[in-house]
Structure 1
Amino acid sequence: MQGKVQDEKKFNRLIAIVSIVIPVVVAALFGVKLPNVEPLSFLPPIYAAINGLTAVLLLAAVWAIKNGNEKLHQNLMTTNIVLSLLFLVMYIAYHMTSDSTSYGGEGTIKYVYYFILITHIILSIALIPLVLRTYALAYLGKFEDHRALAKYTFPIWFYVAVTGVVVYLMISPYYAY
C-alpha cells in the first residue's frame, strides 16, 4: 500500500510539471521561426485528421470499456495519447516554419470561429493534467477514481478533438499553400 501511495505522489508531481512545461514550451516555440527552412504547409490537414481520428478512437474506447473489453480500451487510450503527442509535434513544427494564418471570415461567423478557437485552446491546456491523471489512476489500479475522473476528461478531450477539426475546416480556405 505504501508503495502505491508513493507511486501516486510521484505521478502527481510529474503530471504537475508536464502540465506546466508543455504549454510554456509551446508558447515559447510559437515565437521561434526557423530561418531557411521550407514551410511545412502540408501539416495542417494531417494534424486535423489526427484530431478526427482521436475523436473516433475516443468513442471506440468508451464503447470498448462499456462492453467489458478493458485491453482494447487501454490500447485505444494509449493510442490517443500517442496521437495527441504526434499532433503537438506537428503543430509546433508547422508554426515554427510557417507564418500564422489569419481567419478571413466576416460577421457572425468570425465570432463563432474565435469562440471555438479560444475554447479549444483553453480546454486543450486544461486537458493535459486531466488526461495524465486519468491515465495514471488506471495504471495504479484505482479504477473507481479513474472512472470518476474520466467522466470529466472524456467530454473535454472529445470537444478538443472535434473542435480541432472544425477550426481547421473553418480556417483552411485562408491558408497560403
Structure 2
Amino acid sequence: MNLNQSIPAILVIVFLLMPAFQAMAQTDSDEHYNMTSILPEGNEVSGGNFTGTVWVNMIVLPEDNLNTNGGKVKFEPKARSNWHSHPGGQILIVTDGTGYHQIEGKPIQVIREGDVIKVPADAKHWHGASHEHSMTHTAIGPNLDRGGAQWAGPVTDEEYDSIR
C-alpha cells in the first residue's frame, strides 16, 4: 500500500476518533465538568447530630444544582446518627461493614455491605454502626427542594442496645 492509498484510511480513523480526542481535551474550565472523589475518609464530626466517631465526605452539595445531596459516611463501632427525617426521603447504600437502621415504631434492621435502604419521605429514622463493627454508607438526599434533614434527639443507649 502506498502513501496515497493510506491517506483516506487515516482520515477516516481520525474522523471516527475525534469525539474521543475532544473529550480528553476537556478541562476544569469547562462549565459542565464537575468532579469530586468518594475515596477520602472525610472530616471527623463529633457531637451535634451524631453519637460516637463519625467521618463525613460530602460528594454532592446543594450548590451543585442537582436537587440532591450525597456523602460517604463512616461510623466507628457503636457510632450512630440522631433521629432525623428527610422531607424528600433518603437512600442509603451500604458499602462496607455492618450497621443498624431503624424507622420509628419499627424494629431495628441489621444492614450490611451491598444493602440499599430506601427511607420514605418524612420517616423519622436513624442509622449507624453495629456494636462490634464499623459501617460505611453513601447517603443520598433527593428532592432537596422539599427541604433538608430535620434533626431530632439522640438515639439513647437503651434504644440502640435493644437489638441485643
| TM-score above 0.5, yes or no | no
What TM-score comes out, normalization by structure 2 length? 0.22
Higher relative contact order, chain-length normalized (CA < 8 Å, sep 6+): 1
Larger Rg computed on CA atoms: 2
What TM-score comes out, normalization by structure 1 length? 0.21
Name the one with the larger strand percent.
2
